[in-house]
Chain A
Amino acid sequence: MTNDLTTILYLLSGVLFILAIRGLSSPDTARTGNYLGISGMAIAFIVTIVNLDQNNLINWLLIISGISIGGLIGTYLSKRVAMTDMPQMVAALNSMGGMSAVLVAWAAFLSPGSFGLLINGFINTSSIIQMLLGILVGAITFSGSVIAFLKLQGLMTGSPIILPFRHIINILIFITILGLSTSMILDETGSHTFLFLLVTILSLLLGLLLIIPIGGADMPVVISMLNSYSGFAAAIIGFTLGNMALVITGALVGSSGAILSYIMCAAMNRSFFSVIMGGFGDEATSTQSNENKPVKIGSSDDAAFILKNASSVIIIPGYGMAVARAQNALKEMSDKLKAMGIKVSFAIHPVAGRMPGHMNVLLAEADVPYEEIFELSEINSSFPQADVAFVIGANDVTNPAAKNDTQSPIYGMPILEVENAKTVLFVKRSLGIGYAGIDNELFYRDNTMMLLADAKKMVEDISISL
């Protein structure tokens, strides 16, 4: 195949990837989009295979077995993962993306001739710079995503782990990486395998240190950010390999992740910088204690009675619903309410859950109609007309302190204004604080009834009492 034709076909697969993302603008076109994405991948794969030296059987065996092993693992994971565990899945996939970038950069470094990177027997300087950058970004993506995965999976504490002098340590590591890289770039003729390895290890360490101080509630930003890094790592490698599909895709994925990070930060009224510096939700626990204030605690029967007499109910799901896997029970309850002629809608805060769109996927799994689900800006004006706001496993995103308390760490964050509803039913496992470590004054309001139980159990009990 000529170089021109190869490049045109890689461009075609890049275009198909753009269309795959474009398809996600509506659930109706999304599946077609996914098929276009798969076709794009197939084209890139076939073009690469056709251009290979066709004679070596061992190479073919390696390629086929590698893809079979990866394909089987990937297929198995995708079939088995529960929808509630989707944030972990995305973190795991991100880490694979980062690792592939690191490994491909290494492959190119060890065997530059295969990629035509040699000038007078040595790797040309701009390729070295790209490989180093690819290693840096890829390795940070890998180790950062592994930490995010461990936190989301509960294998590691979700609260921030704060090391002393962490900013100074990170800066020192970064400067060391820069120094090593510069010495490699300046000395064009040396063999730098050891330095290259050192840069890889330090970058891995940096990724780890960057993510451990970031708490569970900030995971939507972290996951989006790592998603974006994995894209940029791919794009950088695309420069080294001179591959059109990789450059286009990397840019797409990079900007996608960056936009999602921005949306998540805006939804928390926090700067991207303050999120990645970490430590949020650690120091705020000392705000004045509300332990002695009276709280109205209700049973499932009380809740069922209130719901039965309502004419309009808004349900606000949060991470607690995902943890309790209560989405199907919730759908059943909302069906019962609808059968009684009660209007039911769902309100989703952008940062509810652990990743962008987490709640939407869970509600879709439970078969909640798309038209019943509303975003923050669409539904906030409806709360004053609602009889019941049913908060299930969401806390910080409903906390009025974000509007009234200038001292609060979440002050200024746009919230779902559930306190404007006639009655607030608040399903929560205990009276503990939310992930941001802030007490919620909503608990102590006259029109709030706390339903303290496992979310799934409580919703099932309410359904029975209805």
Chain B
Amino acid sequence: MDISPIVFYGSIFVLAIFVGYYVVWSVTPALHTPLMSVTNAISAVIIVGAIIAIGTESSGSLSMVSKLVSFFALIFASINIFGGFLVTQRMLAMYKKKGKKDD
């Protein structure tokens, strides 16, 4: 069976929206701020695009410019990944501290 990539990824996309819808509604309002920082971190998985662009040899006349652009994309995405996950961890640690005290 031959399906075009856009239909294939489109199907995944639609299903993931539904998964996201139900999963996000289950997040407790107290953790909405960590939700935002962690979604920031995971959306930086776009870093794979930057890595592919840097790491793949190509012969186009603009491929050097492309590498430079990707290098900056790599920096921005890394800021997002490290900043997002670490700040989430920092926030969640504060919620944990309390849990212990209540035991």
Contacts and interface: CB of A to CB of B under 8 A. Distances in A.
Nearest to B62: A110
A107 B50 contact: yes
A86 B45 contact: no
A230 B20 contact: no
Contact of B39 (A26, A96, A256, A358): A256
Interface string A172-201: 000000000000000000000100000000
A242 B101 CA distance: 48
Contacts of B77: 70, 96-97, 100
A71 B6 contact: no
Contacts of A450: none
Residue of A62, A67, A364 most packed against chain B (CB within 10 A): A364
A24 interface: yes
Given A21-B24, A21-B38, A97 B80 contact: yes
Given A40-B42, A41-B42, A41-B85, A224 B36 contact: yes
Given A66-B75, A94-B40, A247 B12 contact: yes
Interface string A200-225: 00000000000000000000000110
B55 A77 contact: no
Tell me what chain B mostly uses at the interface: helix, strand, loop, or mixed: helix
A360 interface: yes
A59 B79 contact: no
A281 interface: no
B97 A367 contact: yes
A25 B38 CA distance: 13
Contacts of B46: 97, 100-101, 104, 234, 237-238, 246
Given A17-B42, A356-B33, A103 B69 contact: yes
Given A44-B45, A97-B43, A108-B49, A74 B83 contact: yes
Residue of A83, A107, A251, A350 most packed against chain B (CB within 10 A): A107
B88 A34 contact: yes
Contacts of A114: 52-53, 56-58, 63, 66
Given A25-B26, A30-B31, A247 B9 contact: yes
Contacts of A104: 46, 49-50, 53, 70, 73
Contacts of A33: 38
Interface stretch (A332-340, A370-378, A455-463): A370-378
Contacts of B31: 24, 27, 30, 357, 360
A149 interface: no
Contact of B81 (A25, A34, A41, A357): A41
Nearest to B89: A34
A70 B41 CA distance: 13
B76 A96 contact: yes
Nearest to A238: B9
A221 B61 CA distance: 43
B39 A227 contact: yes
Contacts of A31: 89, 92-93, 96
B39 A253 contact: yes
A415 interface: no
A240 B74 CA distance: 18
A464 interface: no
B48 A34 contact: no
Given A48-B51, A100-B50, A252-B19, A90 B35 contact: no
Given A59-B55, A97-B46, A113-B59, A70 B39 contact: no
Given A111-B63, A239-B6, A48 B20 contact: no
A52 B51 contact: yes
Given A18-B23, A237-B46, A357-B33, A103 B72 contact: yes
A20 interface: yes
Would you list the 8 A-B pairs with minimal beta carbon distance, nearest first? Answer: A70-B78, A74-B82, A357-B32, A66-B74, A74-B83, A251-B16, A255-B20, A111-B66
20 contacts: A24-B35, A33-B38, A37-B38, A45-B47, A66-B54, A72-B82, A74-B83, A74-B84, A96-B40, A97-B46, A99-B73, A100-B73, A115-B52, A237-B46, A242-B5, A252-B24, A252-B39, A260-B24, A360-B32, A370-B99
Interface of B: 5-6, 9-10, 12-14, 16-17, 19-21, 23-60, 62-63, 65-67, 69-99, 101-102
Given A45-B48, A101-B46, A103-B69, 7 more contacts: A24-B35, A52-B52, A73-B83, A103-B70, A107-B73, A231-B43, A357-B31
